[in-house]
Amino acid sequence: MGEPGVIRKLSEEVVNRIAAGEIVQRPANALKELVENRFTTSKLCNYEDLQEIDTYGFRGEALASISHIAHLTVLTKTTADKCAYKASYENGKVKGPIKACAGNNGTQITVEDLFYNVIARKKSLRSPAEEYTHIMEVVGGYAIHNSHVGFTLKKFGEKTDLKTPMKSSVIENEPSLKLSVRGYVTNVNYSHKKGTMLLFINHRLVDSLAIRKAVDSIYSTYLPKNSHAFVYLSLQLDPKNVDVNVHPTKHEVQFLYEEQIIEKIKSCIESKLLSCNSTRVLYTQ
């Protein structure tokens, strides 16, 4: 029998990388941390603060955590400064000297090569389109809640997907949903043991577990237990809000504004069922 293993203390670099991975699990988490940190406990007030982004506090660990698992650059300038200052970080430490440069008042944070040193986490990320969907949800939510702040979101090299003006209102920043719903559904007098649901999005036959569950939940209040309906739905959505590359067969889809779309579908179906619910005779097949 061999000698028992020796318990060794992990290096500070490894500990910080593991801790950062618990806070930031995908790009949307990194963005959320930055947004919340910037609007609540910003640590950057002057030049000297660039040397101390590893100080921890309520939401204050965002920059420190991200700097351990990505290449982080901070460009900042206060109204009292004659110029801006730029610092780059790697493994939680300043990389090279802090440089004076041109810049506008405020702080610009650039995060690149996320999870470059955490390969397992990087490989676990979903498709770029799905990760962008999560980012859109974060930015869209904060844009509505912080209507006094201007938000802009776009993919690199592409047109802007979201832009809200400063000093706007919550109503103005609520995303306008381009959605068309049509189809046929059976009324409460029809039920089947298995049921059928045909879902087309932008003329493509697909499946959505979220929509399927939502439809089943509506009919469960009208039909006997273990009975189901026949539902055919055709949705027209903005193509940029739909990701058909979740599965190689393109049968499963994910899309932006899922909650709003599902609520619209539920409202349409419920209104039809209520309109024909004056008499109720149950037939089964």
Give the tens place of pLDDT for each residue, 209-220.
899 999 999 998
H-helix or E-strand spanning residue 87: strand 84-90
118 to 18, 66, 183: CA distances (angstroms): 9, 12, 47
Burial class (CB in 10 A: 0-12, 13-18, 19+), 85: buried
pLDDT at 102 over 60: yes
What domains can be seen in the chain, in order of their start residue?
Answer: 10-121 (3.30.565.10), 126-175 (no CATH), 179-284 (3.30.230.10)
Per-residue pLDDT at 60 exceeds 70: no
Distance between CA 175 and CA 141 in Å, rounded?
Answer: 10
**What pLDDT is stored for residue 65 in this prediction?**
85
- How far apart are alpha carbons 261 and 62 in whole angstroms? 33
Q: In the predicted model, is pLDDT for residue 72 greater than 50?
A: yes
State yes or no: pLDDT of 252 exceeds 90. no
- Predicted local distance difference test score (pLDDT) of residue 44: 53
Binned at pLDDT 50, 70 and 90, residue 285 comes out as: very low
Q: Which two tokens mark 112?
A: 């690149």
Q: What is the pLDDT of residues 29-59, one digit of tens each?
A: 899 888 876 644 444 555 555 455 444 343 4
